[in-house]
């Protein structure tokens, strides 16, 4: 199975900051990489697919990059509603696998 590792596992930031979360795959996955946001008690929300394409309705403050094994999610100008847990996922091979999550907290 392809393992996905996110770093950091948790992150403290302030409103207005820009943050970057990294996701690494144990083998090349081309650009078959997605990012999701999850708030407590809610279902995950799809943010990005194909490593860098924004889902419809997702603000441009979210951006993704990378290819192969190394990927990043960048969130600019953090607002209170952005504080959540973020997951990456590969969907090039079964079983689809997720990173362990990065909890973004308010400093």
Partner 1 sequence: EVQLVESGGGLVEPGGSLRLSCAASGFTFSSHWMHWVRQVPGKGLMWVSRINSDGSTTKYADSVKGRFTISRDNTKNTLYLQMNSLRAEDTAVYYCVRDQGYGAYGFDYWGQGTLVTVSS
Q: How far apart are CA 68 and CA 51, in angstroms?
A: 10
Candidate list 32, 62, 83, 86; residue touching partner 1; CB under 8 A: 32
Preceding amide of 19 cis, omega within 30: no
Taking the complex as a whole, the smallest distance from the CB of residue 59 to partner 1 amounts, in Å, to: 16
Q: Shortest CA distance to 62 belongs to which of 50, 75, 77?
A: 75
Taking the complex as a whole, the smallest distance from the CB of residue 24 to partner 1 amounts, in Å, to: 16
Task: Give the CA distances from residue 13 to residues 7, 52, 81, in Å, rounded to whole numbers and listed in that order.
Answer: 15, 23, 13
Residue with Cβ nearer partner 1 (34 or 75):
34
Applying CB under 8 A, which part among 12-20, 62-70, 75-83, 87-95 lies near partner 1? Answer: 87-95
Report the interface residues with partner 1, using CB under 8 A: 32, 34, 36, 43-46, 49-50, 53, 55, 87, 89, 91, 94-101
């Amino acid at each position: 199975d392809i393992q996905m590792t996110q770093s950091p596992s948790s992150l403290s930031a302030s409103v207005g900051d820009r943050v970057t979360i990294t996701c690494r795959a144990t083998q090349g996955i081309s650009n078959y990489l997605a990012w999701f946001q999850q708030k407590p008690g809610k279902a995950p929300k799809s943010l990005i697919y194909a490593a860098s394409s924004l889902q419809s309705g997702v603000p441009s403050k979210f951006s993704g990059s990378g290819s192969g094994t190394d990927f990043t999610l960048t969130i600019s100008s953090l607002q209170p509603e952005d504080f959540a847990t973020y997951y990456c996922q590969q969907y090039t091979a079964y079983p689809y696998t997720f990173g362990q999550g990065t909890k973004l907290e308010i400093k």
